[in-house]
Structures are given as structure tokens and as C-alpha cells.
Amino acid sequence: MFPIDAASIDKSLPVPVGTQLHGLLSYSLAFGNIPYGTKLQSVRQLAGELGIAPMTVSQVYQQLRDEGLIEMRPGLGAFTVGDPRKGADQAQPINALRGDIESIISKAEALGVSPMALVSMISASAQMRRPAIGLHIVFVCIFEGPGRDYLEQVRAVLPVGDSIELVTIDALRADEASLAACRAADLVVTFSHREAEVRSILGPSEVMGLRMLPSQGTRRSLAGLDSRAKVAAVTHFQEYIAIMRPSVREFAPHVSDIRVTWSSAPNLGEVIKGCDVVIYASGADHVESLVGPDVQCFEYRHALDPGGLDTVLTPRLVELRQAKVRSTELKIA
């Protein structure tokens, strides 16, 4: 993850430094690899490093706390929020199978069964199984287009019998049907930095936030940029304007000429004009129509962290399914 230092805040931008800092920190906390429970810099330390007012940092920390991304411990400072679902590695359900897996592999080797044949047998057996009770999941996204890709990532780890549908946050706020669908779901999944927001809308519902990573396609496109290219990086949300330059440089450190703006900025056309490459964040798709035919243009797209699907989502689905089975059995009894 890119560092946050004095160069991260661009005071020449027509965006308040507090807004920039909030975008930088919320992005790092949601998409970065900062371990849970990590202590953040003190208000005065971070303010001194960035050259901004301590009051500004304090307000940003309070906002991050309200969004559920950090916690403030009296006398100790700010810490990234510990997630009870992310316990010790050995506590994960899949780790309870390691001994059985080793035993099956050893037995297969003794019988002359190849690893590929063993995998095929297990896969075929798994396909024949059907969960006793299916779960219904709702994925709450920001933009419908990218949201469909995220939904398919989640669908890939669901067993036959489970279902999933897509709802945008805007629809959740404005549409009673979308709100009802989420409240009726067994689990609502969203992005980690939107979890608190979704919870505030839904109330007492099962909500889980998942971490995001820059997609492999985005990383490849950035790594392949010409070092001499003049790049325009466009965000949809003004709040995240400060993350665009370091996000590009994280995977294209060889590129130095990067100009940033947001999709509704008055100077959008001026920034794009004369650039060799235009990179836009999800939601700023209309930027493509402003780019000339000889200019490379692509979306900075994220993907769900595969590790989170395996070690956070899947175990939670197991817990929910078991609880639903018990509930059904009690009703029958």
C-alpha cells in the first residue's frame, strides 16, 4: 500500500485538506493491508508529518470512528478496528480439515491414485451434494456495472442452492423494495469501508464488509504504461482525488507525470487534453467519451480479496446455515 506522507496532501487542489485526508485514510483502511488492531499516528504526529492543523486530523479520526473503520481508545490513541470474524488462523473452519486432507492424500498415494484424480473425485462428490437449507445473500454495491463483477465473485464460492442478488446503495436509500430485500436476506455483503453506512440504513441485519484489491487487469495496465506518458487520473468521488496519484504510482512507479481531477470538475477537459493516457475510477465511465481515439483509456477497477472470500465469508455462511438448520428443526419439533 502506498505511504501517506507530506506529499500525499495536495494543497493546490480545490479540495479541502480534511476531505483529502479522509479519502486517503479510508481507502488505506478499506483496501490496504494494514493489520487489524494497528495503532495509527497520534493526532499531533500525523498533523506534523502532513503539515496540516491538528484539529483537521482530529475531525477526520472522529469521522473514521463513526464509519466503523477505527476505534479510539482513551489514553492510547486510534487503532484499526479488530474484526471478531478474523480470529487466529487455526480458528478458521478450513484448518480443522488439514489433518483429514493429509490423511486422504497419503491413502490415495498408497493406492496409486494420482492427485488430479483425487481432486476430480472430491469435486464430483461435492457437486452431488446439496445444502440442506439454502441461503439468500444480497450484495450492496456502489455502481451496478462493477457490482455485477463482484457479485459473480461471491457467487463462485456459494454452493448450489444458495442465491444472491445485487442492490446499489442509492437504491437501498430510495427504494422500499431494495430495503425489504436486504432485511429479508440471510446475509448482506458490501465493501468494508461501506459496512457502517449499510448497517446504519438497515438496522439489525446481518451485514458483512469485504476487503477490496486493485484487480489484476488494472495492475497489468498500469505496469505496462510508458514511463514518458502524461497521465490523467480521474476519480468519481471528489473525496478520493488525493488517492489517484499514489494509486497509479503504486503499480506504475516509473511514471512521473500524473495529473488528477474528478469527473465533474470544471477543468476536467483541460486536464485530459494533452494527456497520452486517461485512467478513471469506477463510476466515472463517461470520461471515456471525452478521450480522443489515439489516447489510451482504462478503468481503475477493484476486485474482492479472494482471501476474504475463503477465510471470512465462507465460514460465516457455514455458521448462518447451521443456525438456520437448527431454527428449522426447532420449528418442526
Tell me phi and psi for residue 38, to 5 degrees: -70, 135
The per-residue pLDDT of the chain, averaged, comes to 86
Is the same domain home to 188 and 325? yes
87, part of any domain = no
Model confidence band, residue 86 (pLDDT cutoffs 50, 70, 90): very low
Over residues 34-59, the mean pLDDT reads 90
The grid cell for 135 is 441461503
Is the same domain home to 227 and 248? yes
Poorest-confidence range of 74-83, 198-207, 279-288, 297-306? 74-83
Number of residues assigned to the chain? 333
Which percentage of the chain shows pLDDT scores above 90?
52
Note the pLDDT of residue 84.
44
Which 8-state DSSP code applies to residue 159?
P
Half-sphere exposure of 214 (CA within 13 A, CB side): 25
Residue 138 in 3-state DSSP?
strand
- Which tops the pLDDT comparison, 193 or 83? 193
Pairing relation of β-strands 70-73 and 77-80?
A: antiparallel
192, part of any domain = yes
| CA dist list (Å): 132 to 65, 129, 282, 307 | 40, 9, 38, 26
The grid cell for 127 is 457437486
Is the same domain home to 314 and 199? yes
- Close Cβ partners of 26 (under 8 Å, ≥ 6 residues apart): 64, 67, 69, 193
179, part of any domain = yes
Is the same domain home to 140 and 208? yes
Cα diameter, the chain: 73
Strands across the sheet with 277-281, in order?
257-262, 230-235, 277-281, 296-300
Note the pLDDT of residue 12.
83
Is the same domain home to 293 and 223? yes
85, part of any domain = no
Q: Is the pLDDT of residue 87 over 60?
A: no
Contact by Cβ (8 Å): 285, 145: yes
Nearest residue to 175 (alpha-carbon basis) of 201, 147, 203: 201
Query: pLDDT digits over 245-257, tens only?
Result: 999 999 999 999 9
DSSP string, 266-326: TTHHHHHTT-SEEEEETT-GGGGGGS-TTSEEEEE-EEE-HHHIIIIIHHHHHHHHHHHHH
Poorest-confidence range of 5-14, 120-129, 180-189? 120-129
Is the same domain home to 62 and 105? no
1, part of any domain = no
Alpha-carbon distance of 62 to 80, in angstroms, equals: 13
Is the same domain home to 172 and 282? no
Could you tell me the pTM of the whole model? 0.74
Note the pLDDT of residue 136.
95
**Residue-range definition of the domain harbouring residue 261:** 216-300
30, part of any domain = yes
Which 8-state DSSP code applies to residue 82?
P
Is the same domain home to 194 and 319? yes
Model confidence band, residue 88 (pLDDT cutoffs 50, 70, 90): very low
The grid cell for 177 is 423494495
Is the same domain home to 50 and 199? no
CA 102-105-106 angle, to 5 degrees, is 85
Note the pLDDT of residue 59.
95
Domain count, the chain: 4
Task: Tell the burial category of 210 from Cβ atoms under 10 Å away from its Cβ (0-12, 13-18, 19+).
Answer: buried
Is the same domain home to 205 and 310? yes
Model confidence band, residue 174 (pLDDT cutoffs 50, 70, 90): very high
Q: Is the pLDDT of residue 313 over 80?
A: yes
Alpha-carbon distance of 166 to 147, in angstroms, equals: 7
270, part of any domain = yes
The grid cell for 36 is 487489524
Note the pLDDT of residue 126.
61
Is the same domain home to 17 and 74? yes
- Looking up residue 191, the CATH number of its domain turns out to be 3.40.50
Query: pLDDT digits over 94-143, tens only?
Result: 566 767 788 888 888 888 888 888 887 776 666 555 556 889 999 999 99
Is the same domain home to 323 and 201? yes
Over residues 26-46, the mean pLDDT reads 83
The grid cell for 59 is 475531525
Q: Is the pLDDT of residue 323 over 80?
A: yes
Nearest residue to 234 (alpha-carbon basis) of 285, 280, 165: 280
279, part of any domain = yes
Model confidence band, residue 21 (pLDDT cutoffs 50, 70, 90): very high
The grid cell for 178 is 431494495
